[in-house]
């Protein structure tokens, strides 16, 4: 997590120099991105992202809002996550109920729980939901398409139902160019069942072996 402290009676956090994921991946969304340097760079982003989540998960926490706007890419090509406001720890306290975050990167199990529970019921996000969010964010920002197909003006409940029902866009129908290694990583992260997804530590190993 970023370092933090107090200053002049307020909260001070470490400044992260970086570019939002969507903007950073713009060069990779066109055919000109199909070159070795971009491939290596994309895998480095995925690996460092998984490394940060691994630290969080080992401590018993889930970020619970893994999405493009909460991820910066630093000048040296590393992913940096921030905005831990919705994070779920190992113990449920008197916090406000967690009711999901950005719809487009919501894991199926979270979407299903949101649909079947009252609005004031806390949903305890687990690390596997973060892995879905990572895969969904990579899918979206590399291909330019959200991983689950629905119109922008679709009501949120219907979007959540589409996610829960697994109505996912095929990555080979959306990719700007073929990159089998990255496609396999994204597909593993987007496994419908939470227990079928790799852990963050697994992801780090998989990517290191691919690089």
Tens-digit pLDDT profile for residues 62-106: 999 999 999 999 999 999 999 999 999 988 777 899 999 999 999
Burial pattern 81-120, b for ≥16 Cβ within 10 A else e, equals bbeeebbbeeeeeeeeebbbbebbbbbbbbbbbbeeeeee
The SS3 call for residue 10 is strand
Q: pTM higher than 0.85, yes or no?
A: yes
The domain defined by 19-85+95-210 folds into: Transferase(Phosphotransferase); domain 1 (1.10.510)
C-alpha closest to that of 174 among 9, 29, 17: 29
Tens-digit pLDDT profile for residues 45-72: 999 999 999 999 999 999 999 999 999 9
The number of residues making up the chain comes to 211
State the sign of the Cα–Cα–Cα–Cα dihedral 92, 103, 110, 175: negative
Give yes or no for residue 12 having a pLDDT over 70. no
Facing residues of 88 across strands?
Answer: 62
| Domain residue extents for the chain | 19-85+95-210
**d(Cα 141, Cα 175) in Å, to the nearest integer?**
10
Min mean pLDDT across 2-16, 26-40, 55-69, 110-124 is at: 2-16
Half-sphere exposure of 118 (CA within 13 A, CB side): 2
Strand extents, DSSP E, the chain:
4-7, 10-13, 19-20, 71-73, 79-81
Cβ atoms of 79 and 61 closer than 8 Å: no
**d(Cα 6, Cα 111) in Å, to the nearest integer?**
36
């Amino acid at each position: 997590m970023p370092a933090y402290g107090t200053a002049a009676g307020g909260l001070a956090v470490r400044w992260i120099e970086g570019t939002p994921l969507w903007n950073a991946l713009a060069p990779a969304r066109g055919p000109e991105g199909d070159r070795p340097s971009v491939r290596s760079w994309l895998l480095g982003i995925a690996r460092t992202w998984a490394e940060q989540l691994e630290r969080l998960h080992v401590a018993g926490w889930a970020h619970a809002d893994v999405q493009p706007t909460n991820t910066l890419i630093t000048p040296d090509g590393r992913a940096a996550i921030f905005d831990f406001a919705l994070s779920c720890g190992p113990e449920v306290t008197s916090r406000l109920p967690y009711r999901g975050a950005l719809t487009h990167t919501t894991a199926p199990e979270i979407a299903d729980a949101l649909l079947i529970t009252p609005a004031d019921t806390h949903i305890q996000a687990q690390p596997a939901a973060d892995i879905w969010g990572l895969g969904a964010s990579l899918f979206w920002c590399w291909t330019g398409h959200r991983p689950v197909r629905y119109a922008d003006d679709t009501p949120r409940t219907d979007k959540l139902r589409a996610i829960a029902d697994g109505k996912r866009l095929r990555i080979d129908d959306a990719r700007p160019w073929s990159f089998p290694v990255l496609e396999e990583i994204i597909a593993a992260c987007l496994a419908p069942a939470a227990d079928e997804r790799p852990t963050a530590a697994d992801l780090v190993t998989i990517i290191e072996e691919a690089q």
